[in-house]
Structure 1
Amino acid sequence: MYKRILLAFDGSVEGRTALREGALLAKSCGAQVHLLSVVSETGGMAIGEGAFAGAVALHQDRYREVLEEGAARLRAMGFNPTAELVVGDPAQAIGEAARRVGADLVVVGHRRQSLLARWWAGSTGAYLVDSVDCSVLIARTVISDELFERSADVVS
């Protein structure tokens, strides 16, 4: 059903949910997996860089570590994932990556926001859905480490 799946992964609880749910789905479909981490380019990052030279580089180093952790989990499941770190707006970066790799499914996590936060930031999810030409799965099924390890071995 799915041949190329893009997993958006940032190391958060929601990102880990997307990684686990997407990886199990990819394994059951025999799909290629592409892993993407996006360092969000915000005004706060610019202020941090101004106050502490190297703040952005430290932030990127942390995301690289998170990305490698996700890629290692996927390799342990038998995947040969591509892993990419980009800086920018997460929704735009995910959409661009989906087009670049020819994804037929994008898997993202979901972080609840207050009404004010959603109004202020806009609807990232709506932008993503409108900007890709493939299915989008919003992963919400929490899978424990133990269940994930057992399921990863069972799914073929």
Structure 2
Amino acid sequence: MYTNILLCYDGSREGRLALREGARLAQITGAGVTLLAVVETVSGNALAQAADASVLSYQQDELRSILDEGRQRLTAMGLAPRIRMQFGDPVASISKVAAETGADLVVVGHHRHGFWTRWLSRSVAAELSDSLGCSLLLAQKVVEDKDLFPKT
């Protein structure tokens, strides 16, 4: 079914749900896993970075820590993830890594927003569904520990 899954991980509650659901699919299908975090460097964020170069360094350090946490979680689940950090627009970065790694499934967390927030801001999920050449899973399912960790 799936041979290569790209897990997009930001350390948030929604990101952790996506990590667990994507990891479970990888366990079931025997798929390889790439764990990706994106340092967003577009629009207003870029202006802040130009004003203070330490912002980018801080974001990198924070994402390295988040990726390490994700790697540890996936390794404990019996998986051997490849780790990637990208810089730029999330949609472009995720699409690029999905193509480079030959992903046939991209898993992202679903961040719930109210009507006005959704209306005023872009939908990364909608943009991804238009730009990816593979399937997209907006993870929301709670996957229990008993289903994730190999029995010893």
**TM-score scaled by structure 2?**
0.89
Q: Which moved more, 1:116-125 or 1:18-27?
A: 116-125
Partner of 1:46 in structure 2? 46
Q: Aligned partner of 1:132: which letter? A: L
Large movers: runs of 4+ above 6 Å: none
Q: Which moved more, 1:50-59 or 1:61-70?
A: 50-59
Structure 2 segments unaligned to the other structure (5+ residues): none
RMSD: 1.8
Q: Which moved more, 1:35-44 or 1:131-140?
A: 35-44
* Matches for 1:10-25 after TM superposition, within 5 Å: 10-25=10-25
Partner of 2:113 in structure 1? 113
Query: How far apart in 2 are the matches of 1:49 and 1:141?
Result: 35
Query: How far apart in 2 are the matches of 1:131 and 1:44?
Result: 23
1:62 aligns with 2:62: yes
Residues 37 and 84, structure 2, Cα contact 8 Å, conserved in 1? yes
Structure 1 segments unaligned to the other structure (5+ residues): none
- Count of aligned residue pairs for this structure pair: 151
Query: What's the secondary structure of 2:61's corresponding residue?
Result: helix
Query: How far apart in 1 are the matches of 2:52 and 2:99?
Result: 35
Partner of 1:7 in structure 2? 7
Relative distance call for 1:53 and 1:100 in structure 2 (3 A) is: closer
Tell me the CA shift for residue 49 of structure 1. Answer: 3.1
Query: How far apart in 1 are the matches of 2:4 and 2:71?
Result: 15
**TM-score scaled by structure 1?**
0.87
1:153 aligns with 2:144: no
User: Percent of pairs identical after alignment?
Assistant: 46
Tell me the CA shift for residue 42 of structure 1. Answer: 3.9
Query: How far apart in 1 are the matches of 2:49 and 2:133?
Result: 36
